[in-house]
Structure 1
Amino acid sequence: MDISGNTIFIPGATSGIGLALALALTERGNKVIIGGRRTAILEQLAAEHPEIDTVVIDTADPGSITAAAKEVLAGHPSLNVLIAMAGIMQVEDWHRPEGFLASAERVVTTNVLGPIRLVAAFVEHLQSRPDATIVTVSSGLAFTPLRVTPSYNASKAAIHMLSESLRLQLSDTSVKVLELEPPSVRTPLMPGQEDNEHAMPLDEFIDEVMTLIETQPDAKEIQVERVKFLRYGEARGDYDHVVSVLNGTDPHGR
């Protein structure tokens, strides 16, 4: 993916990584359209950043995705990058169905069906562009599970394998598939995460991501250094240790 000169749609970009990425990409000479569910927040962001366009979209609603895609493509026929950023993360207790079922269904709808429906809405158009990219967003937790968020972990593992598969299928087109794999970052994704000293500061994460995109335009996965501990535990042969450290069960505290 080139660092500049793109027209980019980022649903789920009204806060956190999505918004920070939208601003960074705008600064580097891209036209960015952000999407979100809450009209008031979109209007506020449009007033603060008039160079960025906005569109209302609920990625858990198939009809909303279809309507937003029509609006985006009508206003920006040069669109060549889709970043499927929207996602939710929830703590679950799988000892009883009331502790997880409703949450699991919401997570799968938003984190798995949402990106699938977004790709369905844009893939034909993207193939008409000479150089296009679909950016998926998985997580370090796609490779090492956090005990309290089973559905989130599973949804991101699904996104990783979906990315791998789409890359193979679309290899005969102009569309690249790039997977962004964040570690824990200081965002409002979970209560208290913005102030979690163990999470990566958002500005540091974005700076490293932008550097990686710029210096590795042909990369298949964007991995900041801090996610590699989770990403490659199995390959290194220390997966059990990584799981124990992540979940606070390592007796040596490493």
Structure 2
Amino acid sequence: MDITGNTIFIPGSTSGIGLALALELQAKGNTVIVGGRRTELLDQIAAEHPGIDTVQIDTADAASIEAAAKQVLARHPDLNVLITMAGIMRVEDWHRPESFLASAESIVTTNVLGPIRLIAAFIEHLRAQPDATIVTVSSGLAFIPLKVTPSYNASKAAIHMLSESIRLQLADTNVKIVELEPPAVRTSLLPGQEESEFAMPLDEYVAEVMELFETRPDAKEIQVERVKFLRYAEARGEYDQVVATVNASDPHGK
């Protein structure tokens, strides 16, 4: 996608990668709308970063997505980019169903149904724009499993295949599908991940992503160098070795 002159909605961007990306995109001359559940964080972002609009949204709630979409489009009828950033990650023990079932259901609702519902809410509007982009967010763990996060891995694998499939379906439209594939990044996605030496510093990650957006405007997948160890393990014939390395190194996976 072009790096400037867009109107971009990023649900799930009150912290971490989402917020850092929102600020960088605004600095590049885009109109940015940040979405999130917690009004206190939205108010703080609006106060600290003039020009950024905010909308309350819970991407695990279908009615909230529908209401937020109406609000965003009423205020920003020129919206042309949707970044489905919201996601959750939890450690699970699959030896006992009572210890993982509720977590698994919540992850699937947020990480899979959330993006599907968001795309459904905006696709007709985006198709009517001269040029539009949907950015999905998968993970390096869509390609290499981390033992302690089965449902998260599966949800991100689903997003990868969803992205591949709808890109084919929408090839006859002006809507581009770009898949963002982060490695472990120093955010609060899991407890302790912000301090993990195995995770990529947030500022370095976002800087590399912005460079890729700018230098590869036709890219289908946005992959920083660090995630390619996971993304292409099977293609290199190293799948088993990489699985073993990922699961022996760090509880957060990298």
Deviation at 1:2?
Answer: 0.3
Corresponding residue for residue 143 of structure 1 = 143
Query: What RMSD in Å do the two structures reach over aligned CA positions?
Result: 0.9
Deviation at 1:116?
Answer: 0.1
Corresponding residue for residue 252 of structure 1 = none
Corresponding residue for residue 79 of structure 1 = 79
| 1:103 partner SS | helix
Corresponding residue for residue 214 of structure 1 = 214
Alignment of 1:116 with 2:119, yes or no, is: no
1:39-75 alpha-carbon deviations (Å, 9 max, x no partner): 1110011000121000000000000000000000000
TM-score by length of 2: 0.98
Deviation at 1:99?
Answer: 1.5
Corresponding residue for residue 27 of structure 1 = 27
AA aligned to 1:182 is P
| 1:234 partner SS | coil
AA aligned to 2:111 is N
Cα distance in 2, alignment partners of residues 87 and 152 from structure 1: 9
Corresponding residue for residue 5 of structure 2 = 5
1:145-169 alpha-carbon deviations (Å, 9 max, x no partner): 0000000000000000000001000
User: For 1:89-168, what aligned pairs fall within 5 Å after superposition?
Assistant: 89-168=89-168
Deviation at 1:121?
Answer: 0.2
Corresponding residue for residue 173 of structure 1 = 173
User: For 1:24-63, what aligned pairs fall within 5 Å after superposition?
Assistant: 24-63=24-63
Corresponding residue for residue 192 of structure 2 = 192
AA aligned to 2:160 is H
Deviation at 1:119?
Answer: 0.2
AA aligned to 2:94 is W
Cα distance in 1, alignment partners of residues 212 and 38 from structure 2: 31
Following superposition, which runs of at least 4 residues in structure 1 exceed 4 angstroms of deviation?
none
Cα distance in 2, alignment partners of residues 40 and 222 from structure 1: 31
Deviation at 1:5?
Answer: 0.5
Cα distance in 1, alignment partners of residues 87 and 20 from structure 2: 15
Cα distance in 1, alignment partners of residues 30 and 228 from structure 2: 29
| 2:135 partner SS | strand
Cα distance in 2, alignment partners of residues 243 and 98 from structure 1: 27
AA aligned to 1:160 is H
How many equivalent pairs are there? 250
| 2:187 partner SS | coil
Runs of 5+ in structure 1 lacking a partner? Answer: 250-254
1:127-146 alpha-carbon deviations (Å, 9 max, x no partner): 00010000000000000000
1:105-137 alpha-carbon deviations (Å, 9 max, x no partner): 000000000000000000000000010000000
Cα distance in 1, alignment partners of residues 66 and 50 from structure 2: 25
Identity %: 77
AA aligned to 2:14 is T
Runs of 5+ in structure 2 lacking a partner? Answer: 250-254
TM-score by length of 1: 0.98
Cα distance in 2, alignment partners of residues 130 and 146 from structure 1: 40
